[in-house]
């Protein structure tokens, strides 16, 4: 049993709590997730079972879509409403049109974003949130992100409701913080729902409570690894070629045999995994991550290699 489970994470629990609760249901050898959702957040959380844990970074790099609510007039140490208040300021006296203009002019395309101090990113081998809890003074290093689309869904002071389609690695908490600063105010995230990761949508997500009641056959809910990676180019290889890749050997191929898959306008051209190719056999017993150089295919990682029955 292997694959990806799209669950609708409830609020007030961590992503790890979801894994801990689901482990007895599936009883996998390995289990993980692709992209943490903070306890305050709800929505799409991809749970990875067995060999699917090997593609975590491929899924984490996919574009994501969110709906969020921003609370103006307050800044917190975590950049969300659960944190310790650091500053209070007047709520911006602006119209929805004014806010839409700021969002389009200041928050579009490739940007440099400073992650929240309370995050799982590491500095000198230590997670930032641990350093922050110890009171260590530091400023996280800015990272490049891409905002594909940002829309104002509603403005009822002090709350702004937004929709965001962003690259992997974008912190919506930090985006809310920066929107507040752009409007000469303070702001913090007060509500967050992840509605899409790549081609996984919230409409397709299963409520965690339903899975825990054992009302469904968990194995039937899993998305196959190949389907989860259908945005990536791939190449069909023979059993003999698969055996060579399995042994760590490069094989000679023709670039015209690469099948390109781009569905639902999934923007991944800037992804750090965009240069990879999936090598797969016709019988779907072998799947590997590979790189192509000239007419050679080099194995990067074997995702699975099933033995013949």
DSSP string, 26-68: H--S-EEESS---TTEEEEEEEEEGGGGGGHHHHHTS-EEEEE
Three-class secondary structure of residue 256 per DSSP: helix
Query: For position 263, what pLDDT does the model report?
Result: 39
Q: What is the pLDDT of residue 14?
A: 95
265-299: b or e for each residue (b if 16 or more CB lie within 10 Å)?
ebbbeebebeebbbbbbeeeebbbbbebeeeebeb
Q: Using an 8 Å Cβ cutoff, are 296 and 285 in contact?
A: no
Would the pTM of this model clear 0.75, i.e. be above it?
A: yes
Residue whose pair of structure tokens reads 């949508």 in the numeric block: 201
Catalytic center residues:
38
- Listed as ranges, residues in the chain with pLDDT below 50 are 261-272
Give pLDDT, residue 192. 98
Rg of the chain on CA atoms, in Å: 21
User: What pLDDT was estimated at residue 101?
Assistant: 97
Check residue 290 and give its pLDDT: 95
Which H or E run contains 277? strand 276-280
Structural domains of the chain ordered from first start: 3-61+199-224 (3.30.2350.10), 64-196 (3.30.2350.10), 229-305 (2.30.130.10)
Q: What is the pLDDT of residue 266?
A: 40
Number of H helices, E strands in the chain: 8, 19
**Torsion angle defined by CA atoms of residues 196, 202, 206 and 207, in that order, rounded to the nearest 10 degrees:** 110
């Amino acid at each position: 049993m292997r694959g990806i489970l799209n669950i609708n994470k409830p609020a007030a629990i961590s992503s790890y709590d979801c894994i801990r609760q689901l482990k007895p249901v599936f009883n996998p050898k390995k289990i993980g997730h692709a992209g943490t959702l903070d306890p305050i957040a709800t929505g799409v959380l991809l749970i990875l079972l067995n060999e699917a844990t090997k593609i975590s970074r491929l899924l984490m790099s996919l574009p994501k879509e969110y709906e969020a609510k921003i609370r103006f007039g307050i800044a917190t140490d975590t950049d969300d409403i659960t944190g310790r208040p650091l500053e209070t300021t007047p709520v911006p006296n602006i119209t929805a049109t004014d806010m839409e203009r700021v969002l389009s002019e200041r928050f579009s395309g490739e940007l440099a974003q400073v992650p929240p101090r309370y995050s799982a990113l590491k500095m000198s081998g230590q997670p930032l949130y641990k350093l922050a809890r110890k009171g260590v003074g530091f400023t996280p290093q800015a990272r490049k992100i891409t905002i594909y689309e940002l829309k104002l869904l509603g403005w009822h002071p002090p709350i702004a409701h937004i929709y965001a389609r962003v690259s992997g690695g974008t912190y919506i908490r930090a985006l809310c913080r920066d929107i507040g600063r752009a409007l000469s105010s303070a702001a913090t995230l007060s509500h967050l729902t992840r509605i899409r990761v790549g081609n996984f949508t919230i409409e397709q997500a299963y409520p965690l409570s339903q899975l825990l009641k054992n009302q469904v056959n968990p194995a039937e809910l899993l998305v196959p690894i190949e389907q989860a990676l259908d945005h990536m180019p791939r190449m069909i290889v023979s059993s003999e070629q698969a055996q060579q890749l399995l042994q760590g050997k490069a094989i000679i191929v023709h670039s015209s045999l690469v099948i390109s898959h781009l569905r639902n306008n999934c923007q991944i051209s800037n992804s750090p995994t965009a240069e990879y190719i999936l090598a797969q056999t016709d019988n779907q017993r072998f799947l590997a991550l590979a790189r192509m150089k000239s007419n050679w295919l080099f194995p990067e990682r074997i995702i699975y290699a099933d033995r013949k029955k």
